[in-house]
Structure 1
Amino acid sequence: MTLREGASAATFLAVFAVAAAPARAACPIELAVFGDRDEAASVEFVPTGESAAVTNTFRMELGDGVVLDGIVMWSADVSRPNGMLMHDCPEGDVTGEELAACTAWQGVIYTADASGGIGLLPAEGTAAPRTLIFPDLGPALRHSSAYRDQGSSKLPWDVFALKGCQE
């Protein structure tokens, strides 16, 4: 076998191996994992299950182990994915005052694509975006019980990049 034949055989095998490998599907949003640029926090989406109002469910873990519970509910008047991050909320029926006291951040969750196009958080079953934007997340967390009571040392950036997909 000559060098040229060997190179052609190696090229053929490499192309065949790539073609034979299972195609990697895009990660659905409900299995996506994101991280901020300073590694102060991560966001992990989980399947929501059956809910009439909640369209997405996620957890945000701050670098010091504090975990915030997140939900997304789309508004009816102007259709937007309104996210809420909560810290140590009471179980069961809660009053509006109790919910406000344990809400660490609330706002619209935006996305950004590779070309810089801005969009809205997709519904479950849709491919995860490259980037999530939680406007004013750091300042809101600084004034929340998650920061004050737990002594968090770092605040996350508002922008989170897709880091992986849960299996």
Structure 2
Amino acid sequence: MTGPSAGRSTSSTDRLQVRSTDSGSTAGIDLAQQLLTGLDLRATTLAVHTAQLLRDAGADRIDDRIETLRADARASGITVAQAAAAFHHAIRRDDAGHTAAVARLRDLARAGDYAYYTDIAHYMADQDPDIPPAARWSDDEQTVRTRWRTLVTDRRASLPQL
């Protein structure tokens, strides 16, 4: 389906992913789901599920959701869902999960598209990329690294069990 409903849904989910690391983003996610009802926008639906994962990253018992999202994303070639999984594993200090997420990101980005997600995943876990950075950032690399790492540390600090 195309038209105004599809445009509003897609626009809403694009903005939603940017804000989804904030634990107060539930209302925006709920609105996006409401706007998507009855539409066949697979990538946009995956974006909402990714936003939900980003919102809930670090919480217990979301590994099944990660696997479902990975399968759906792999079928659609959506890389950002895997980046959300890397975010979750960085928050949880799950080195094995994070390493697997980076490997999946690298596989998804083999054609060169979205290769910077592997850099971001490393920065979130306070690691150096194992290959030269794929992106030329508008700010210096340390500033970019600090911004991504701060998302993880802020989220971790907001979770009582971590």
Higher helix share: 2
TM over 0.5, yes or no?
A: no
TM-score between the two structures when normalised by the length of structure 1: 0.28
| Structure of greater Rg | 1
**When you count strand as a share of all residues, which structure comes out higher?**
1
